[in-house]
Structure 1
Amino acid sequence: MSQRLSMGDAFSPIAARFAALAKTHANVTAVRNGLPGEAGVACDFATFWRRVERVTGHLQGTWAVQAGDRVAWLGLNHALQLLTLVACARLGVIFMPLNYRLAAAELRQVLQDARPKLLVHDADHATMAAQLGLDEGADECDFVLQERLIDTASPRFLPLPQVQADAPVLLVYTSGTTGKPKGAVHTQAGLLANAQASDFAHGFRAADHVLSTLPLFHVGGLCIQTLPALLCGVTVTLHPRFEPAMWLRAVAQDKPTLSLLVPATLRAVIDHPEWQGTDLTSLRGVMTGSSTLPLSYLQAFHDRGIPVGQIYGTTETGPVSIVLPLDQAMARPGTTGWPPPLAQVQLRNEQGQEVPLGQVGQVCIRAPNVMRGYWQHAQEGVSSTNDGLLEGWFATGDSGRQDVDGCITIVGRSKDMLISGGENIYPAEIENLLLSLDGVAECTVLGLDDERWGEVPVAVVVRSHTEAGQVLSQEMVIAHLQRSIARFKLPRRVVFLDSLPKSALGKVQKPVLKAQLQTDKC
């Protein structure tokens, strides 16, 4: 992939790559779209490129989308989403996938910030799109059903712009749990660099087949495996959404070699009744990523001979920034890994200085796949993307420590760290142990103000519906924890709830929970 490509009739780096694949991998399946047992649609790389050309024609000729415009996408995972991204790259247009789990008010914030020229939606989200279309100022944005991008012939032989490598192509919004959502702007060169970093993590092979089920509105679902695999000429099977039964059935029937699961979906697969009886031998590895990743989840896959590697990153970093490659996964479980080639990682203290090996510091990243900056729509209508970075470095807000061999372990969010009696406590360490206790379905740990100690850790636990969950008590939780961590880290209190407050991306809203605990509402 890193070799120089002929531009042909494609005038952008990403489009050039797919134009080349249409020739070198013409008969190789690019995308299979659909669940196992359904009459899904598959296309090879030659067909993929022909469809990109059709979508390009419609964007440019039918809806007058021009370089610099934004095209928003609201819908479940679909091959057309990937075709549209490449067509946008070809035109110098910015593709912005929308989180369909957001409420209308939250989506309005994003649309008002980015001001897209066109919003493409699927049938499942037609009602939401219609609601957004009634908003004030929406007349500046056209709304179109996704099939209209490709179900008829489009204008041909329209002039294509010359698109530079540093041109923005992807605008992805953060969840906005601590304020207004911010849009991270990624360039064409950045997406290609991210694909190379992903290739370093996975070691993509010609015979690989990726099963992609996580939402493409997030850089995790789009940029950890799916888009990098396609850029490397690897086949992708795309499900509209994650369902554990469908994931297991697809592995058994379609025989993928790679997939991506986050901790919540890892657990859903392991807990499914068909887990033990499903043939998983086609998988040569599964990737995951999170600061809170129970070793028991990894061990369940390792026991079946499937290494679980790690990808660490954020919306702003591409996201492939630190990787535990599949060939190292079983030897270093629980660690996050090493920076891929061309990426730099520093662990810094509050003064911005690098910390010594073995000490905890904030993870700061500089790499070619880090965003250009945050999108801002100024009052005068001028957009800028030059903030969020300091001399090219992005401060992630996560804390990590580095071993003598350079291997990094993420220990949690910097802002989540609490100081109790002068000792630093990282909630992720306690959460990992809690999730290994039978009967715990979900949990979080946060710090509450304490007159004597400054702060004390409090555990909030959601019991599972199993017999072990029904009898779980505070005494059992503390007994489990004290076998593995120092006394000062033990929660002073265990609160049992039916559920945890979460954002639209599934992140626990610790500020909300902390406010509830401090006012004794739990």
Structure 2
Amino acid sequence: MRHWLAAQPPDRVALRFGDVALTYGALHAQAEAMAAALAARGVRHGDRVGFLGQNHPAQIVALFACARLGALLLPLNWRLAAPEWRFILDDAGVKLLLATPEMLSAMPGQALDATTLAAPGNAPDDGDEQSPVLLVYTSGTTGRPKGAVLDQRALHHNALNAAHAFEMTAQDRVLTVLPLFHVGGLNIQTTPALHAGAEVLLHPRFDADAFFDAVARNCPTLTLLVPAVMQALVSHPRWAGADLSSLRAVGAGSSDVPLPLIEAFHARGIPVQQVYGATETCPIAIIQNRAEALAAPGSLGRPALHAEARIAGGATEGEIQIRGPATLRRYWPDLPALDEEGWFATGDVGRLDPEGRFWFTDRLKHVIISGGENIYPAEVERLLRTAPGITEGAIIGRPDPRWGEVPVAVVVPAPGFDAARVLAHFEGQIARFKIPRAVITVPALPRTALGKVEVAKLHSLLA
């Protein structure tokens, strides 16, 4: 991947950020200059370079600089607390930490300004397709994060997967509003766009008005969203009147996208192509094309072009497993990640329909075992979303002396909330053992930066 930028016409626009437009030639030159600066500071093949900041062209530059050197870029979630950053930096043994200007004060004396780091001269060209280039720490929603090691070959095949599924070409304009510290924001559309010679419209972070402004001004053809962002757009006053006709499709980077949100975009003529994967799969592993998005909304789709997917044990429902060149080879520093046949166990339960499509059931770790019966919270949550008097909710297991665990609902109340009405909503719609035994109210559900509910924090409410 270290040659992607140089392979494109140098005068073609690669990246727009605010009022700044960077051509492929300029982006390549900046990456070469940063590689030289990193090398001058002692960064060598295999070293780790941290990056802390909201979305910024400097992170893209740093990625390609590391690719040239054969070093690894470690993007940090800027929403974490300082002790969490320190754990990751120490665990990875980071050589240098880069930061955008607004984040320099968060790590005083430890970070260099990523926007000004450059040096003349030629840097070593020590990277190749087998060289690790990304060290991405998992979100840690159920425990301590661990680092997934992704090599340049993985990013290359992931880009091919994206180009195939989204029909991505050099004529596309990709609007990126999700955080680049996550493989979803970085690799589902952004790096594939640069591989294809397309134009990336990069926003520092998601803002609904900025999104609508960009659609009106720049006419993007593709974008990637998550359910929380989709909900923010659909419920925004500008949704109904916005001209969204430039969007050929929207990628949805989440395991379980609520069907009403998909239908809201489909009603505007925009297919929602669901993408399934994990940090460890770069992430594209299973994906819908446009035809699948319209034919089977809510499904995960089929294995990506350069990926294999199966249900463990050859069953029609069970743990999803992934294999392919875009999958990690190890966890940091040298911990096994795959079985002896090269399969990665995702920890997600899914089912395979007769047409060969995958459907998400739930996280394996989230399964509630009550009296010997398996309860998948995601199934109950789909019904919970339609309950009266709540804004949002989640289902978790509560220890029970008789049944082992029982399901309970954790909800954000809305006007007219009544716990009894919420529980009554489930009657006759699912098996009685799946019905929540209680309703717990909270001001807001704890979520990661990509909108996933942090289950460990929910469970702490029951402690």
User: Structure 2 length normalisation: TM-score?
Assistant: 0.95
Q: Which amino acid aligns with 2:147?
A: G
Q: CA deviation at 1:506?
A: 4.7
Q: Which amino acid aligns with 1:441?
A: T
Q: CA deviation at 1:514?
A: 2.8
Q: Which residue among 183, 189, 196 is the counterpart of 1:225?
A: 189
Q: Where does residue 3 of structure 2 map in the other structure?
A: 16
Unmatched tracts of structure 2, length 5 or more: none
Q: Is the 8 A contact 2:143 2:456 kept in 1?
A: no
Q: Where does residue 200 of structure 2 map in the other structure?
A: 236
Give the Cα–Cα distance (whole angstroms) in 2 for the partners of residues 321 and 404 of structure 1. Answer: 19
Q: Which amino acid aligns with 1:165?
A: E
Q: CA deviation at 1:179?
A: 3.3
Q: Where does residue 389 of structure 1 map in the other structure?
A: 338
Q: Is the 8 A contact 1:286 1:308 kept in 2?
A: yes
Q: Where does residue 122 of structure 1 map in the other structure?
A: 100
Unmatched tracts of structure 1, length 5 or more: 1-13, 35-39, 134-142, 377-384, 464-468
The answer to whether 1:342 aligns with 2:306 is: yes
The answer to whether 1:106 aligns with 2:84 is: yes
Give the Cα–Cα distance (whole angstroms) in 2 for the partners of residues 182 and 194 of structure 1. Answer: 21
Secondary structure of 2:74's partner? Answer: strand
Map 1:474-489 → 2, pairs under 5 A: 474-482=419-427, 484-489=429-434
Q: Is the 8 A contact 1:296 1:436 kept in 2?
A: no
Map 1:412-491 → 2, pairs under 5 A: 412-437=362-387, 439-463=389-413, 469-482=414-427, 484-491=429-436
Give the Cα–Cα distance (whole angstroms) in 1 for the partners of residues 51 and 120 of structure 2. Answer: 22
Superposed CA RMSD in Å reads 1.9
Give the Cα–Cα distance (whole angstroms) in 2 for the partners of residues 64 and 225 of structure 1. Answer: 32
Rg (Cα) greater in structure: 1
CA offsets 1:145-189 (integer angstroms, 9 cap, x no match): 122224xxx22245x234331110111111223333211100001
Q: Where does residue 136 of structure 1 map in the other structure?
A: none
Give the Cα–Cα distance (whole angstroms) in 2 for the partners of residues 449 and 172 of structure 1. Answer: 33
The answer to whether 1:319 aligns with 2:303 is: no
Give the Cα–Cα distance (whole angstroms) in 1 for the partners of residues 31 and 402 of structure 2. Answer: 64
CA offsets 1:226-269 (integer angstroms, 9 cap, x no match): 01111111110000011112112211221101111111111111
The answer to whether 1:513 aligns with 2:463 is: no
Q: Is the 8 A contact 2:227 2:451 kept in 1?
A: no
Report how many aligned residue pairs link the two structures: 462
Compare 234-243 and 318-327 and name the one that shifted more.
318-327
The answer to whether 1:93 aligns with 2:38 is: no
Map 1:114-513 → 2, pairs under 5 A: 114-130=92-108, 133=110, 143-150=111-118, 154-158=119-123, 160-348=124-312, 353-355=313-315, 357=316, 360-376=317-333, 385-391=334-340, 392-437=342-387, 439-463=389-413, 469-482=414-427, 484-502=429-447, 506-513=451-458
Give the Cα–Cα distance (whole angstroms) in 2 for the partners of residues 364 and 33 of structure 1. Answer: 37
Q: Is the 8 A contact 2:2 2:128 kept in 1?
A: no
Secondary structure of 2:3's partner? Answer: helix
Q: Is the 8 A contact 1:372 1:386 kept in 2?
A: no
Percent of counterpart pairs with the same letter? 46
Q: Is the 8 A contact 1:212 1:238 kept in 2?
A: yes
Give the Cα–Cα distance (whole angstroms) in 2 for the partners of residues 45 and 503 of structure 1. Answer: 33
Compare 487-496 and 74-83 and name the one that shifted more.
487-496
Q: Where does residue 17 of structure 2 map in the other structure?
A: 33
Q: CA deviation at 1:16?
A: 1.9
Secondary structure of 2:213's partner? Answer: helix
Q: Which residue among 35, 59, 67 is the counterpart of 1:56?
A: 35
Q: Is the 8 A contact 1:294 1:433 kept in 2?
A: no
Q: CA deviation at 1:479?
A: 4.3
